[in-house]
């Protein structure tokens, strides 16, 4: 049986770490594509990952290239390309610069891998998903954003730390846009099935919620240059695994909503069943009035970003 083919666009920290994780998970052959200006850098990273294969025991092929030819016929494509925000840049500046990059990448992918499932990691994430959907003209079940998996993983790690329990015991749910307005849901966050609302004080939960919202910024502040890549790459790899192994796994992902949760025409993070078709079902939670209000506020922030797209 032919191996699956996975393409990672962008050979920076997130892309290269993701390629390594995918190889170690033996999910398929991996192609890492970067812009021609990077010359032989993607090939160098691919060779380095290949040379660790005898130690970790994986047999998939890793290719690094500056052309999309090697990526042709990919089953899943993860787009990590884009520039980070620089001092003096507004969010809109970043928005339209990255929109051009994501649009160009998606155009190439749509030509070479017309049946691929796209996972967007580039920021501002929810708006970049919309760019990819419009450019590719793929059906909405094949364009997904990696946000809620990462935000939930951050929340899970903070809950485990607060309660001194195994990370494996903790599940969390974070909905909404991938930004300051994201909506952590303590009622749907559990430790071995017990809601955290029964285990932690309101003050502690409130602090965890805020730390979850600030998760990316906290790491940027500590690193001084660049942003997170270990947890984002792990989150994207979990999504790829759910799709290629047809696991029907429920994960919070950014997907295009058409009336679900009262939101229409934008990408917002909601619980999704991921399988071989990509998005197979949007799971509708019964939210309280307050939770719904927070989600609508988050969706409005995403709509503003989408409206600012040139």
Would you name the residues annotated as active-site residues? Answer: 178
**Residue 253 and residue 245: Cα distance in Å, rounded?**
17
Residue 6 CA: distances (Å) to CA of 128, 163, 263: 20, 38, 31
174 and 155 in contact (C-beta within 8 Å)? yes
253 and 279 in contact (C-beta within 8 Å)? yes
3-state secondary structure of 184: strand
**Residue 115 and residue 73: Cα distance in Å, rounded?**
7
Closest CA to 239 of 6, 59, 57, 63: 6
Residue 288 CA: distances (Å) to CA of 82, 241, 273: 37, 32, 22
34-46 burial, b for 16+ CB within 10 Å, e for fewer?
A: bbeebeebbbebb
Ordered DSSP codes for 220-275? HHHHSSS---HHHHHHHHHHHHHHHTT--EEEEEEEEEESGGG-EEEEEEEEEEEE
As given in the structure block, the two tokens for residue 161 are 């730390």
Residue 175 CA: distances (Å) to CA of 32, 209, 267: 30, 12, 11
Closest CA to 135 of 112, 164, 104: 104
**Residue 86 and residue 220: Cα distance in Å, rounded?**
12
């Amino acid at each position: 049986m032919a191996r699956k083919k996975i393409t990672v666009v962008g050979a920076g920290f997130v892309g290269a770490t993701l390629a390594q994780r995918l190889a170690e998970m033996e999910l398929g052959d991996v192609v890492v594509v970067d812009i021609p200006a990077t010359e032989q850098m993607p090939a160098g990273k691919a060779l380095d990952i290949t040379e660790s294969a005898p130690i970790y025991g994986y047999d998939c092929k890793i290719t690094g290239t500056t052309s999309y030819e090697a990526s042709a016929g990919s089953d899943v494509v993860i787009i990590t390309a884009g520039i980070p925000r620089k001092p003096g840049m507004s969010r809109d500046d970043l928005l339209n610069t990255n929109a051009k990059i994501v649009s160009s990448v998606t155009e190439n992918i749509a030509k070479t891998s017309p049946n691929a499932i796209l996972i967007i990691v580039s920021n501002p994430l929810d708006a970049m998903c919309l760019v990819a959907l419009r450019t590719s003209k793929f059906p909405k079940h094949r364009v997904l954003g990696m946000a809620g998996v990462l935000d939930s993983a951050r929340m899970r790690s903070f809950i485990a730390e607060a309660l001194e329990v195994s990370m494996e015991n903790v599940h969390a749910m974070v909905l909404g846009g991938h930004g300051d307005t994201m909506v952590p849901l303590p009622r749907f966050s559990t430790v071995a099935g017990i809601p955290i609302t029964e285990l932690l004080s309101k003050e502690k939960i409130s602090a965890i919620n805020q730390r979850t919202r600030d998760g990316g910024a906290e790491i940027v502040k500590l690193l001084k240059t660049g942003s997170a890549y270990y947890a984002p790459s792990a989150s994207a790899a979990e999504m790829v695994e759910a799709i290629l192994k047809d696991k029907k796994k429920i994960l919070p992902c950014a997907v295009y909503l058409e009336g679900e949760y009262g939101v229409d025409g934008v990408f917002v993070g909601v619980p999704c069943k991921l399988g071989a078709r990509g998005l197979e079902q949007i799971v509708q939670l019964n939210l309280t009035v307050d939770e719904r209000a927070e989600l609508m506020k988050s969706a409005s922030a995403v709509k503003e970003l989408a409206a600012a797209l040139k």
